[in-house]
Amino acid sequence: MHKFPFALCAIMMTSACTLGPTYHGPQSAGAISTPTSFARASSGVSGETPMLAHWWTALNDPALNALEAEALAGNPDLDAALARVRQARAALGLEKANTLPSAGVMAAYLHADLPGSGLGGSSSSGTSALTFYNAALDASWEVDLFGGKRRSLEAARASLGSTEARAQDARVSLTAEVAQAYVNLRDRQQRLALAREIAACEQDQLALIEQRRAAGVATAIDSERQRDSANHAQNAVIQLASERDSFLNALAALSGKAPGALDMRLAEPADVPLPPAQTPIGDPASLIARRPDVRAAERQLAAATARIGVAEAARFPTLKFTGLLGLGGANLADVFDPSSLATIAAPQLSWNFLDFGRAKNRVAQAKGVREEAAAQYRGAILGALRDAEDALARYGSARANLATASHSNQSAARNLELITQRNRAGATNRIDLLDAQHQSLAARQNLSQAHAEFTASFIALQKSFGLGWE
């Protein structure tokens, strides 16, 4: 009789299995035709594989490098993402512990007056007094008959991978935001200096027109038209100064600092950094492997697949072993008496077979979650490919726009030089010279903006490739 529970245990452990679908990789989400190369690759790019981390060093700007390092060390959002990774690791450790037996110690004292029970000593009132002392070791273990715990552990591992990938995606977004804010700051500083020169030029033109009006050569309409132009130029100065301050605050916040903390350090204007002559882009397959958001979606798919097995296992019986080894008796001294050793082994088999479809619907729900995860994974792949193609198109367009702005700037500079020579020779007046200076300054502003847009398109390209993590 004593051997029966152990024989039952051996038979059931031998027949243990793992329920639910086994995850065979992302291909189980459905085939997606991935192109072998990017359709919109333009000039200035190569098929070489880009470097994964620290892509911003290709811009060769020490100030940007320092800001990126500070942001990676102090950004609150990135810290929160890393804290979520630690939580997921702890959850995985908990799932591992759940597959192992648990053991503990206990001490108990029991005293009861039981009328008419015949237990213990009888009192004059006819009740029985029962006193019991006990100190014991207890242990319990639930046998993973149908793989529910194994599937839970599998899901926890996949969830950890997804959380780690999301933290890496947060790093990708952060490094791109810092670089973009820095480029915008340098652009606004450059354009602000030029806008102030344009405003001064407009004021000089207004003063000349006022003089000509006083001499009867210009009209009041000419004066008011120039005054309106001067006001617009001054408004542009105010707007650019406000945008400059906003990007300074953005860089401080991204670095985990209070607004104004970087004002003195970045107050001196500097050129907008330019991308290298050739930008490596790799191929679509390597893009899918690099992008953290795609990997996060794939790991979520793996976790959802494993949770189907958890729900399936819940439909079947559970086997739990509970054991107790202790000393005790009616007297306190029995707790220290080896002859009072008591052992209890209690295997427990339970099966909630009549649940009116609850377990079945939990399985159906888990399968629905898995189908949703599969669709999200396919969407992540398509979104990644689209981001890369769009970024490549914008990169090529920005490169062409920069070339056009450069030609326009050169043309305006030559025109200013010719007008200056004619003015010195007395062949043209001061107003024509100021107008040529205005055009040259405006062309330089457009060139600075084109520089910034080109570098911004490079940054967006790096983000679309999922770069910026280790």
Domains annotated for the chain, with CATH where assigned, are 40-99+161-300+381-464 (1.20.1600.10)
**What are the backbone dihedrals phi and psi of residue 407, each rounded to the nearest 5 degrees, phi first?**
-65, -40
DSSP-derived 3-state class of residue 37: coil
> Reduced to 3 DSSP states, what percent helix, strand and coil does the chain have, rounded to the nearest 5?
65, 15, 25
CB atoms within 10 A of CB 351: 10
Residue partners of 74: CB distance under 8 A and separation at least 6: 255, 256, 257
Low-confidence stretches of the chain (pLDDT beneath 50):
1-4, 6-15
pLDDT at 14: 43
pLDDT in tens, 12-26: 444 458 888 888 887
Three-state SS letters, 284-308: HHHHHHHCHHHHHHHHHHHHHHHHH
Task: Please choose, from the candidates 207, 143, 205, 158, the residue with its C-alpha nearest in 3D space to the C-alpha of residue 14.
Answer: 143
Rounded CA-CA distance 172/176 in Å is 6
pLDDT of residue 76: 94
pLDDT score at 188? 96
Helix axes 148-214, 220-254, angle to 10 degrees: 150
pTM: 0.84
pLDDT computed for residue 1 by the predictor: 41
